Amino acid sequence: MPIGPTIADDTMRTPAAVKWGAESLWRDLNALLPGLAVEVVDSCESTNTELVERARRMSGLADQQLTRPGELEPPISGPIPLAETTPLGRRAHDTQPCLLVAETQTRGRGRLGRSWQSAENTSLTFSLALRFEPPDWSGLSLAVGVALAEAIDARTDRAGPRIALKWPNDLMWCDGQGPSRKLGGILIETVPVGRRRMAVIGIGLNVAPLADTTDLSHGYAHLQEIIPGIDPPAALRRVAPALLAAVLQFQRSGFASFKPRFEQRDDLAGRPVQGGPAEQPIDGVALGIDDLGALRVQVGEIVQTLSAGDVSVRAAADGDEGRRC
């Protein structure tokens, strides 16, 4: 029997769960990953924060270090605290996978401590937590972006509208009317639970128009531009199975099969960019990614690679910032 919610579980009968089709989604996802729990809450601070804190409680260490792919500390050594019942009714060090959906987030988070702006019925915010042991963590956020983009819209023709991917974690909408606009984002965090490691993969997608987008520096795009009439529950049904399948594929074989698919959607290739780690910023032209998903940047006569950090398109004299995508 799966260790996730049973069909009779009350968590499947709440108004929010019924609205989101949680029971049907749970059946479909358990075919891919038996034991996965599907939970829907009306509101929480952040789905990533909630699942990270659960993992910390499972570890028995509330201050367990939080890391991101590429920043992993060595495996835990020494004795593991004795298994105890946690506030969630599970044993300490339990690594039960969970997909947590929030209708609203009060303190949604993006990369580098940024906030994620959302409003009820206009966005899809959810996180997937699971034990994760891939051959290499490199390129995971890019693989997740590929899975989401393909699930929403398979078009990759640069001559027409398409979903592009901005390294390392943004989905962008290119409609040919101006610069690409941000459609969604990905936040991946990891936390040890005993000698195992949990990955928490957070997804935020804009679904419907926002009343005010003047403060959004990357522009604002939403799914209803691509799929008229779609709402957050329908968007979840569309992307969740593709996300889980891609994560399991990545765990088996790493980034290799995702690389050419990312390259079809690369929003930065050939464009002047700046950014990177604060202690060693770069300013050059993006050349695409390497085999591990690191960004290659031509800086003068040298090609540098970035495996972490954030970059933006550099405002240039030739007006690249306003280039139609």
Per-residue pLDDT band for 234 (boundaries 50, 70, 90) equals very high
CA distance 163 to 128: 22
pLDDT at residue 61, rounded to an integer: 56
The string of pLDDT tens digits covering residues 290-323 is: 999 999 999 999 999 998 888 888 765 544 454 5
**Same domain (yes/no): 291, 177:** no
- pLDDT greater than 50 at residue 8: no
- Which run of H or E residues covers position 148? helix 140-152
φ/ψ (deg, to 5) at 243: -60, -50
Q: What are φ and ψ of residue 78, in 5° steps?
A: 85, 180
Contact status, residue 204 vs residue 184, Cβ threshold 8 Å: yes
Provide the pairing of β-strand 98-105 with 37-44.
parallel
> How far apart are the C-alpha atoms of 130 and 54, rounded to whole Å?
12
Burial of 241 (0-12, 13-18, 19+ CB in 10 A): middle
Which residue has better confidence, 121 or 51? Answer: 51
Confidence band of 210 (pLDDT split at 50, 70, 90): confident
* Secondary structure (DSSP) of 23-40: HHHHHHHHHHSTT-EEEE
Give the distance from CA 165 to its chain's centroid. Answer: 12
Dihedral angle sign, alpha carbons of residues 37, 70, 163, 278 = positive
Give the pLDDT mean for 110-135.
Answer: 78
The domain tally of the chain equals: 2
Distance CA 269, CA 263 (A): 8
pLDDT more than 70, % of the chain? 76
| DSSP one-letter string for 50-84 | HHHHHHHHHHT-TTPPPB-TT-PPPPP-SPPPPP-
Which pLDDT belongs to residue 1?
Answer: 32
| Lowest-pLDDT range of 91-100, 148-157, 165-174, 222-231 | 91-100
Domain-embedded: residue 5: no
User: Are 117 and 241 found together in one domain?
Assistant: yes
Q: Please give the pLDDT value at position 95.
A: 73
pLDDT at 63: 57
Phi-psi group of 55: left, alpha or beta (phi > 0 → left; psi -120 to 50 → alpha; rest → beta): alpha
Question: Is residue 178 in some structural domain?
Answer: yes
Report the chain's C-alpha Rg in angstroms.
Answer: 20
pLDDT surpasses 80 at 113: no
186, 172 contact by CB (below 8 A): no
287 and 241 fall within a common domain: no
Q: Measure the CA–CA gap between 259 and 250, rounded to whole angstroms.
A: 11
What's the pLDDT at 17?
Answer: 86
Q: Could you tell me the CATH number of the domain that includes residue 293? A: 2.30.30.100
pLDDT band, very low/low/confident/very high, at 34 (cuts 50, 70, 90): very high
Instruction: Write the pLDDT tens digit of every residue in 60-105.
Output: 555 556 666 655 544 444 444 444 444 444 444 457 899 999 999 8
Residue 324 dihedral angles phi and psi, to the nearest 5° = -70, 135
Residue 132 has φ and ψ, to the nearest 5°, of -140, 125
Task: Let me know if residue 2 belongs to a domain.
Answer: no
Percentage of the chain exceeding pLDDT 90: 55
Q: What is the CATH number of the domain that holds 20?
A: 3.30.930.10
Q: Do 307 and 237 share a structural domain? A: no
Please provide the distance, in angstroms rounded to a whole number, between the alpha carbons at the two ends of the chain: 49
Domain that holds residue 169: 10-263
185 and 308 in a single domain? The answer is: no
Residue 208 pLDDT class (50, 70, 90 cuts): very high
45: its two tokens: 């601070």
Higher-pLDDT residue of 13 and 54 is: 54
Apex 121 CA angle, 118 and 125, nearest 5: 50
Residues in contact with 155: Cβ distance below 8 Å, sequence separation at least 6, in sequence order: 161, 162, 163
In a domain, 182, yes or no: yes
